[in-house]
């Protein structure tokens, strides 16, 4: 698969919108790790100062966080 990233991103900015973090700010890695570590259905407290205080983790939110963390690692 040559262009897997283009096919993986269906709704750009949806994770920013769900976490209530402006698009011009970066999503902290600590927040992504907390979302990924939690199980679907749990409500977690945001470990950072950006975005919502309490976040309900869904499977879709978890998958989006995994994709963002993967893309952040690719850039380095």
Query: pLDDT (tens digit, 9 = 90+) per residue, 9-68?
Result: 888 899 999 999 999 999 999 999 999 999 999 999 999 999 999 999 999 999 999 999
Q: Which residues pair with 43 in a beta bridge?
A: 56
Query: In the chain, how many domains are there?
Result: 1
pTM: 0.85
DSSP assignment of 18-38, as one string?
HHT--TTSPPPHHHHHHHHHS
Kindly provide the residue ranges of all beta strands, DSSP E only, lying in 1-76, ordered along the sequence. 43-45, 54-56
Task: Domain of residue 45: give its range.
Answer: 4-75
CB-CB contact of 45 with 54 (8 Å): yes
């Amino acid at each position: 698969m040559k262009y897997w990233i283009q096919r993986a991103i269906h709704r750009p900015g949806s994770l920013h919108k769900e976490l209530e973090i402006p698009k011009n700010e970066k999503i902290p890695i600590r927040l992504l790790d907390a979302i990924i570590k939690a199980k679907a259905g749990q409500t977690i407290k945001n470990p950072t100062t950006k975005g919502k205080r309490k976040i309900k983790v869904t499977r879709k939110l978890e998958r989006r966080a995994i994709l963002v963390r993967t893309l952040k690692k690719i850039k380095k």
